[in-house]
A and B are shown apart, each in its own frame.
Chain A
Amino acid sequence: GAVVSQHPSWVICKSGTSVKIECRSLDFQATTMFWYRQFPKQSLMLMATSNEGSKATYEQGVEKDKFLINHASLTLSTLTVTSAHPEDSSFYICSARDPRGMAYNSPLHFGNGTRLTVT
């Protein structure tokens, strides 16, 4: 079964509004979660690394004030897209690694993704 749960699965919002996406690890504690974005027919691009109890680490070119990440507990990370614009429409996917395995060979478990459409 799913080990990472992401909500909502899809959302439509108006330009200028904010949208919050939740990512939960279901049967393990994740001190680190990763947020990816995927445009149509493109691969997954890492946006940021979410760290429990500290600030997120953003990849180059990703605006930290636009994509707010909060990792308040060991099982929950949230991504808020603020002042959304049509160009933010994309597939957002969170992921986490089960720390009970060896770090080097543990795959990332992915949530089912959130399809965001900004009108």
Chain B
Amino acid sequence: GQNIDQPTEMTATEGAIVQINCTYQTSGFNGLFWYQQHAGEAPTFLSYNVLDGLEEKGRFSSFLSRSKGYSYLLLKELQMKDSASYLCAVRDVETALIFGKGTTLSVSS
């Protein structure tokens, strides 16, 4: 079956660094995506990993270990506007994405 796990909620303060973990078990694997979603809005694309290792894009980085079925999203220099849900999604053999339940991040001052 398909299973994607991530923590339900996390809290952090402005300027800090936070790591959101994601583990997955899927029938196929053609890449792992991270999306950000603010309440009532559509998800927006953050990052993509298909090979093991770290991908860095500004304040956001994403890591993948395929052998462990594990990824994390690293957010640096947190800002209040980073308060949102972060969705881990896996593309299996088709082009659709399978989403985890999302991690709600609350950033306080």
Contact = CB atoms under 8 A, between A and B. Distances in A.
Partners in one complex: yes
B50 interface: yes
B30 A111 contact: no
Contact of A104 (B31, B43, B44, B45): B31
Contacts, number: 53
Interface string A62-83: 0000000000000000000000
Interface residues of B, number: 23
Interface residues of A, number: 25
B87 A44 contact: yes
Given A34-B96, A104-B50, A107-B33, A43 B42 contact: no
Contacts of A44: 43, 87, 99
Interface of A: 6, 32, 34, 36, 41-46, 49, 91, 93, 97, 103-105, 107-113, 115
Main secondary structure of the interface of A (DSSP, over half): strand
- Closest 8 A-B residue pairs measured CB to CB? A110-B42, A107-B45, A43-B101, A43-B99, A44-B99, A43-B102, A112-B42, A104-B30
B91 interface: yes
